[in-house]
């Protein structure tokens, strides 16, 4: 009986400490991490660990050895086909040919300025 009451008391103390830590820092610890600490030092270590980056770009930017490779390029947003063609230098030629054949040119800037596909083509 004494073992159960000591465990319950320890868990209650843990909960009170974690509640106060959350009030002061605003950092919430997951349930799996709650079980892992037993001393104040391990709790401090859990609170100091930096959060994971929200974007993959940020995670890759922290690894400088990947950015130094010649075959690796990291961009903050998704590259479209138009962006790839612009980087190679073919987009001007493609745009001229599309206009010569009176076909729609789907550039991002055009769609934003013109109000999208509905305004342009009645889609």
* Three-class SS state of 45: helix
Closest CA relative to residue 47, chosen from 26, 69, 78? 26
Question: How far is CA 79 from its chain centroid?
Answer: 16
**Residue 103 in 3-state DSSP?**
coil
Four-point Cα dihedral 79, 83, 87, 92, nearest 10: 170
pTM of the model: 0.39
pLDDT single digits (tens) 57-115: 888 878 878 778 888 777 878 888 888 888 899 989 988 998 898 888 875 555 555 55
Instruction: Give the domain ranges of the chain.
Output: 2-48, 81-121
Integer CA distances (angstroms), 116 to 19, 80, 87, 111, in order: 49, 17, 24, 5
């Amino acid at each position: 009986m004494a073992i159960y009451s000591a465990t319950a008391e320890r868990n209650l103390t843990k909960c009170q400490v974690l509640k106060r830590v959350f009030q002061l820092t605003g950092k919430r610890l997951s349930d799996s991490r709650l079980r892992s600490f037993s001393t104040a030092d391990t709790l401090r270590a859990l609170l100091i660990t930096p959060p994971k980056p929200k974007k993959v770009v940020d995670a890759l930017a922290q690894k400088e050895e990947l950015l130094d490779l010649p075959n690796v390029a990291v961009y903050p947003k998704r590259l479209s086909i138009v962006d790839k063609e612009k980087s190679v230098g073919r987009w001007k030629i493609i745009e001229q040919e599309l206009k010569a054949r009176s076909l729609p040119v789907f550039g991002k800037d055009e769609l934003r300025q013109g109000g999208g596909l509905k305004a342009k083509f009645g889609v």
